[in-house]
Amino acid sequence: MAEETIFSKIIRKEIPTTLLYQDELVTAFRDINPRAKTHILIIPNKLIPTVNDVEADDELTMGRMFTVAKKLAKEEGIDENGYRLIVNCKAHGGQEVYHIHMHLVGGAPLGPMLMN
């Protein structure tokens, strides 16, 4: 069984934050350490530690993360000029919280995807 993270407490509303979206599958809220003008985290309500832990029965949830990203990008006014969706996996991928999450970032040109 995966260990709970701070995200589990946010999903259950035990840690106060303004939720931008929540349904039976996913929750979205602003990153507390934003790296762009718009920086939103979209997380599954089910604790899935990494991309390596995604199973076939998680496909609906993973798809919902993308449709919620599209909806929030439109609401934030960044859909026309573009945005980036990032999912990190494990230490070399830069994952810091082991509850899979998608970063929706935009609001200004983001530059190259990878830096040396």
Q: Are strands 83-86 and 102-106 parallel, antiparallel or unpaired?
A: antiparallel
Which of 95, 71, 98 is closest to 83 using CA atoms? Answer: 71
Q: Which two tokens stand for residue 94?
A: 């830069």
The pLDDT tens digits of the residues spanning 55-71 come to 999 999 999 999 999 99
Domains of the chain by residue range = 6-106
Is 90 exceeded by the pLDDT of residue 39? yes
101 is a catalytic site residue: yes
Which CATH superfamily includes the segment(s) 6-106? HIT-like (3.30.428.10)
Q: List all residues 6 or more positions away from 38 whose beta carbon is below 8 Å from its beta carbon.
A: 73, 76, 78, 83, 104, 105, 106, 107
The pLDDT confidence band at residue 116, using thresholds 50, 70 and 90, is low
pLDDT at 20 over 60: yes
Catalytic residue among 39, 92, 99, 101: 101
